[in-house]
A and B are shown apart, each in its own frame.
Chain A
């Protein structure tokens, strides 16, 4: 047991009166309220928490925050399990269950032999190389088993996530001394201010350090609250997007809520802020030495925080490996906490060192050349950094701390488009000025001196609140650090990126193989990828690349930091848009009636519609056949309410419709209706439908059910953007009007029996006309049209009245042998008639000439949308795909939709494909439509249809298959 608890006042975050029981890798453990999983594990002496991603090396807790590369755990059980959370951020609560990620077969099982073998096999770029030789498949099974991180539950997440939008004049991210100072100043200047901190409480490092400065930040926090600053705790700002949209994830820990399943787990904040101040602090840069990834090697500032905030001594005897003055402060802090610091090994020459400490053994110009212990640290060997002047010495210890300097958290600054500059003497990147929307304060701006940080942040908060320019940051206070701090000529891997198992040698290999650009380096070695996105590794990696290629780190540059700053759960982004709300379905107002008739519902577009009404024991196909046959023999009723409906008004309505449609509509008489094809400017068929004239300046437009949105959008765009002088109003009325289609030889008799106006009788009302009339006071717009080829009436009526009319008709159905029919029967009927379904038979290349409308275009004198594109050589090419009717030569085999038509079996050039295919109940054989090169010239030809290795002979025949003379429509 290495870890132990320290006495109060250490452990400022803890409530020692409340013990919390939890489980890690099946082992019951306990901690205190206020502990993170990491601090509780360390207090319990658990050092080994996982295995590395690629090499399966034992790993422990490395940091104390969001930058954690190795302490990854799956939290929760069953459907609530969340993979790849950082143990350093998980607050423990009673009953918490956590387990290591990627620990096949178990965390303690050592695959040492395999490791060594694999280590040689897995250099940088390994994956890419296997693609060339001998083939990725050779390695894939074993790598997949060993590599990878946590597992998703695979079950539906029972918890809830929500999204909130907010506005602020000034948003401050980070509630350390800089963030608090900025927020207070902004609020004092009168700005509506919001302050975000990922911690459970404001204060930053001064807030958790046992000492006099705690009161100072507590006073600032109280002042902010009194000024009305909105404080969001446990809220991680993960992205700054265009026009200062700040996105943040608020986590609501399980311990603060009563119910477990179905609780609100996270909240997405979308804050539109006039000005954003980043005060996100800095990360510590690790030292590079052999086996610097062992459990028991960690960041110095992390060990300090574990002692101060959580009252945990991470080790009993400590060696600090430093390249920065900050190591001295940690040494002092640990010693004051009663922890034995065996030595501070400073890699820098004495001339660089500003700090000192009486009574502490300090060895300058030295570094660690070896670490003893595999699964926990037992000691290290110290040598001269330049190989001279110091005799190698073994020092026993159980904790090695790494204090390599600072890496300001510049992520939000670069997300906002800001540039960076390299500060050579302290070896760090700092923001170069401010961006228009975001300014940095405190350590993330490179301002490490506390009073400078507080002063600058105050000025910044005041200036941005008043809309003034942001004052420049007084960068400094970090002391000197060396940039390149790896150990040359020693044995053992020196890890740069602990999460991705990238060592100094891998960066060297990338340089040697000429992957020198920082973006290539990242992709070739995978450094900076994964859940930590290189928060502890990026600077070291590019400093090394500079060292290996003779460049300054500023010349190597950094990869662009992109959102999210830290991993966000999918649940957070999805919010409430799951299940029924993922894509809300449109429902028929008579849905209950259809359901009572046994409708089998399917989603067509966004509509939930009856596909068919199977009888007991009947299949969908059989039901559709029966329904289609009944429409041809007697009558059927289709709920066509989803049909797109528009009303077009205005003195120029007729002229506008002539511009929009292939057909001429302006010369229709009132009451007349015509079929129309809607093209886009490329001449491609977008939609089709029927236009009826209701008055001199009033038209009714039916679009397809799926095409209503694109059709009405096209109408609006052309009206508002191109034909701006036309006086026309387009009103979408799809949901205002229900639509019941009655079709079949008995259609009129059925309607007449139901009391419909005798003026609608087929003898008095011509095909393709519309009449406005009433039925018992309900207004109707009845269109005589047919998509089935049978006598048909499309009865449009107020949607709320459609259920009642269905009931009224249904009561009379037995007298006429009428049935309700669904979409499947409709598809059979229209295919038998050779009517196209836009989007099924046509695609994004289909021109009107390809589907038989060439003559209509030649006849029309006026211009219309898409016309010029139909005059190009490509549009007039006789070899284009054209609509054809197809029959299998054996009259038995159904031609599969999507099957290719070609003279020879594939691979070969295709001549076309099958687009619609059904068994025809009328003909007793399969029928099909397709698109075929030169199709209109190939009537009677035999073609070969290929499908999944089989070949079907077919004939090009004349359409339609049923009632070619159209006598049933008379």
Chain B
């Protein structure tokens, strides 16, 4: 069970959180093609390594935040706010 550093509450056990999947997806406008919309809905990268994803501290402060997690080692490299830009 991972130990996830909530930016608001500090490190807590993973079972207090839900993962919302890949972060920084751009929601397309209404007039895009079906292909573009389908890619937004269904197609995700599955990287071996660093993945930028969003988590919610659902059994805690209730806040969503972004995390950079290594999918191989589960190391969490950083957490940052939803509105922060993609980290370098």
List chain A positions with a Cβ less than 8 A from chain B.
241-243, 245, 272, 417, 436, 681-682, 713, 716-717, 720-722, 724, 863, 867-869, 871-873
Once bound together, how far apart are the Cα atoms of A507 and B64, in whole Å? 53
Given A720-B64, A868-B30, A869-B37, residue A241 in contact with residue B54 (CB < 8 A): no
Residues of B within 8 A of A717 (CB): 20, 56, 64
Once bound together, how far apart are the Cα atoms of A867 and B2, in whole Å? 36
Residues of B within 8 A of A724 (CB): 82-83
Interface membership of B41, Cβ < 8 A: yes
Residues of A within 8 A of B20 (CB): 717, 721
B63 CB to nearest chain A CB (Å)? 7
Whether B82 lies near A243 (C-beta < 8 A) is no
- B residues 53-87 touching A (CB-CB < 8 Å): 54, 56, 58, 62-64, 73-74, 82-83
A-B contact pairs, 30 of them (CB 8 A): A241-B1, A242-B1, A242-B3, A242-B14, A242-B74, A243-B2, A245-B3, A681-B41, A682-B41, A713-B56, A713-B58, A717-B20, A717-B64, A720-B56, A720-B82, A721-B23, A721-B54, A721-B82, A724-B82, A863-B30, A867-B30, A868-B28, A868-B30, A868-B37, A869-B41, A871-B30, A872-B34, A872-B37, A872-B38, A873-B34
User: When the two chains form the complex, which single residue of A436, A721, A867, A868 contacts B32, counting CB atoms closer than 8 Å?
Assistant: A868
Given A713-B58, A867-B30, residue A243 in contact with residue B41 (CB < 8 A): no
Residues of A within 8 A of B37 (CB): 868-869, 872
Once bound together, how far apart are the Cα atoms of A341 and B27, in whole Å? 79
Whether A243 lies near B58 (C-beta < 8 A) is no
B76 CB to nearest chain A CB (Å)? 8
Once bound together, how far apart are the Cα atoms of A397 and B19, in whole Å? 63
Residues of B within 8 A of A245 (CB): 1, 3, 13
Whether A716 lies near B56 (C-beta < 8 A) is yes
A267 CB to nearest chain B CB (Å)? 18
Chain B 29-55 against A: per-residue CB contact (8 Å), 1 yes, 0 no?
010101001100100000000000010
Once bound together, how far apart are the Cα atoms of A436 and B83, in whole Å? 32
Interface size on B, residues (CB 8 A): 25
Residues of A within 8 A of B56 (CB): 713, 716-717, 720
Whether A716 lies near B82 (C-beta < 8 A) is no
Of all chain B residues, the one with the shortest Cβ separation from A435 is B73
Once bound together, how far apart are the Cα atoms of A243 and B2, in whole Å? 5
Whether A243 lies near B34 (C-beta < 8 A) is no
A845 CB to nearest chain B CB (Å)? 14
Once bound together, how far apart are the Cα atoms of A383 and B81, in whole Å? 74
Whether B58 lies near A436 (C-beta < 8 A) is no
Once bound together, how far apart are the Cα atoms of A717 and B56, in whole Å? 8
Once bound together, how far apart are the Cα atoms of A436 and B74, in whole Å? 12
B8 CB to nearest chain A CB (Å)? 12
Nearest 10 CB-CB pairs, A to B? A720-B64, A243-B3, A242-B2, A242-B74, A245-B1, A243-B2, A868-B37, A241-B1, A724-B83, A721-B64
A712 CB to nearest chain B CB (Å)? 10
B84 CB to nearest chain A CB (Å)? 11
User: When the two chains form the complex, which single residue of B1, B2, B41, B63 contacts A720, counting CB atoms closer than 8 Å?
Assistant: B63
A686 CB to nearest chain B CB (Å)? 15
Once bound together, how far apart are the Cα atoms of A417 and B70, in whole Å? 14
Residues of B within 8 A of A681 (CB): 41
Once bound together, how far apart are the Cα atoms of A869 and B63, in whole Å? 27
Once bound together, how far apart are the Cα atoms of A863 and B14, in whole Å? 35
Residues of B within 8 A of A721 (CB): 20, 23, 54, 64, 82
A568 CB to nearest chain B CB (Å)? 16
B74 CB to nearest chain A CB (Å)? 5
A788 CB to nearest chain B CB (Å)? 35
B41 CB to nearest chain A CB (Å)? 6
Of all chain A residues, the one with the shortest Cβ separation from B66 is A721
Residues of B within 8 A of A242 (CB): 1-3, 14, 74
Residues of A within 8 A of B27 (CB): 722
Residues of B within 8 A of A436 (CB): 73
Of all chain A residues, the one with the shortest Cβ separation from B4 is A243
Of all chain A residues, the one with the shortest Cβ separation from B37 is A868
Once bound together, how far apart are the Cα atoms of A717 and B55, in whole Å? 10
A456 CB to nearest chain B CB (Å)? 26
Whether B83 lies near A243 (C-beta < 8 A) is no
Whether B1 lies near A243 (C-beta < 8 A) is yes
A680 CB to nearest chain B CB (Å)? 10
Whether A716 lies near B41 (C-beta < 8 A) is no
A731 CB to nearest chain B CB (Å)? 11
Whether B34 lies near A716 (C-beta < 8 A) is no
A865 CB to nearest chain B CB (Å)? 10
Once bound together, how far apart are the Cα atoms of A272 and B12, in whole Å? 11
Once bound together, how far apart are the Cα atoms of A241 and B1, in whole Å? 6
Residues of A within 8 A of B41 (CB): 681-682, 869
Residues of B within 8 A of A241 (CB): 1
Once bound together, how far apart are the Cα atoms of A243 and B41, in whole Å? 31
Once bound together, how far apart are the Cα atoms of A871 and B30, in whole Å? 9
Once bound together, how far apart are the Cα atoms of A724 and B81, in whole Å? 11
Once bound together, how far apart are the Cα atoms of A724 and B37, in whole Å? 21
Once bound together, how far apart are the Cα atoms of A724 and B30, in whole Å? 19
Whether B62 lies near A716 (C-beta < 8 A) is yes
B59 CB to nearest chain A CB (Å)? 12
B9 CB to nearest chain A CB (Å)? 15
Of all chain B residues, the one with the shortest Cβ separation from A863 is B30
Of all chain B residues, the one with the shortest Cβ separation from A683 is B41
Once bound together, how far apart are the Cα atoms of A925 and B58, in whole Å? 47
B29 CB to nearest chain A CB (Å)? 8
Whether B3 lies near A272 (C-beta < 8 A) is yes
Residues of A within 8 A of B3 (CB): 242-243, 245, 272
Once bound together, how far apart are the Cα atoms of A245 and B56, in whole Å? 21
Once bound together, how far apart are the Cα atoms of A720 and B13, in whole Å? 22
Once bound together, how far apart are the Cα atoms of A682 and B38, in whole Å? 10
Whether B74 lies near A243 (C-beta < 8 A) is yes
Once bound together, how far apart are the Cα atoms of A235 and B72, in whole Å? 30
Residues of A within 8 A of B2 (CB): 242-243
Residues of B within 8 A of A868 (CB): 28, 30, 32, 37
Once bound together, how far apart are the Cα atoms of A716 and B20, in whole Å? 12
Residues of A within 8 A of B1 (CB): 241-243, 245
Once bound together, how far apart are the Cα atoms of A555 and B58, in whole Å? 46
Additional A-B contact list (17), CB under 8 Å, known A242-B74, A721-B20, A869-B37: A242-B1, A243-B2, A243-B3, A243-B74, A272-B3, A436-B73, A681-B41, A716-B56, A720-B63, A720-B82, A721-B23, A724-B82, A868-B30, A868-B37, A871-B30, A872-B37, A872-B38
